[in-house]
Structure 1
Amino acid sequence: ALGALGIVYGDIGTSPLYALRECFSGPHRVEPTHDNVLGVLSLVFWALIIVVSVKYLVFVMRADNRGEGGILALMALAMQRKRGEEVKVRPVVVTLGVFGAALLYGDGLITPAISVLSAVEGLSVATPFFEPYIQPLTIAILVGLFLIQRHGTAGIGAIFGPFMMVWFLTLAVLGVKELVQYPAVVWAVSPLQAVKFFLHNQGHGFLVLGAVFLVVTGGEALYADMGHFGWRPIRWAWFV
């Protein structure tokens, strides 16, 4: 499960960094008022519950192809029809499978850069000294990450598993600290806060929803990496 934590949850574990930033400072931002903050947090919470906990971990991960997951495994399952039906659906299914694989490649190109850059930008919040070094540090980290990928999933998981554990524990400690200071944030668990957010912001709220959806980027890794770890460690790492 520790290896799954390092490989599978590295992306989705950092996605909220830039998702929340886009909600309050992006081109379709909303003002960080009390109600808007609770509304956005409610949307983030329920997006993770519905998309990751329910969609992927409960339903999608059941559609494994002999233990393998991912868009191509799903495509192979979809083509397991009777011979007559297979001829009819094959072109459509193959087209959808290739299109899904192309989206995954695009995600693989964009997400690492955004995730690492968002994390390194936190240094400039601590001190302006690091401001000129944000981009060089990001490039150096990305080059280093891609250089060690040749060691395989097991090796990468063994390295990054403990790092991700420390990362999530740090988030938990900081979250509990802020929760003690601002207990009213617990109201964000209620879906009514999300409803109030849409009622107040109307059409603009749906534009913000596009930024909120960034929190689930990386969720596809739960299914795609099922062949490496199996469904048990992935589910265990998420719920525990």
Structure 2
Amino acid sequence: MNSADPQAPGGPGRAWRHMFLALTALLALPGFLPEAEATEPHRPRREEMVTTQLIARGISHEPTLEAFRRVPRHYFVRQEHLQRAYDDRPLPIGHGQTISQPYIVALMTELIEPRRGHRILEIGTGSGYQAAILAEITDQVYTIEIVEALAEWGQSNLRKAGYHRVQAASGDGYYGWEEKAPFDAIVVTAAAASIPPPLLAQLAPGGRMIIPVGSPFRTQVLTLVHRRDDTFQTEQILPVRFVPFVRPE
């Protein structure tokens, strides 16, 4: 059997050209989007957030930037704040707590220098957003929340967004999570009057902890702790305003 000449009138080459032109015309129609963008309308907002809020302000740790491109922040805000999910501002999540602005979450993530294989503890699950960011970098993420209603909501958000490997618990974060220690990094998302000794003890040699330190409802100092064997070095990063570290009554 002779094969058809692709250049001959009516041959398969001409048919493919017509199909290509038809597809090109379809893509040009208003409202037509590739499937990925049609099902992920917030992706352009995330890209804009990364470019204008993070990179423009000096965030350069590529795993952190990639995590922010991937995590759907709108899954981690209350319904009434959905339209502001990607704004450069903290948002209330109830119970006197907030989801921090994207830049602060990115800065805290970058400062602990996370990488694949790291075991990381978060104190203060809140909405679950910080844990999701960390889970894009390593599969060993542990998070604790003392407000039970927030613990349930944060865990629900993580499940909805597909972060099933994050291990979450409800409890007093002051004491860390001794059974899972030591940790390569610890992220504290509420302001403590001083650095809790149990968290220092659970930080692995060479590990890093980022924590806002200072009085409640006043300007605090975002503080980086670096453990070197049995000594701890601290570095003051910048002034911040965080909700206070909640303890049992």
- What TM-score results when the alignment is normalised by the length of structure 1? 0.22
Relative to its length, the structure with more helix (as a share) is: 1
Relative to its length, the structure with more strand (as a share) is: 2
- What TM-score results when the alignment is normalised by the length of structure 2? 0.22
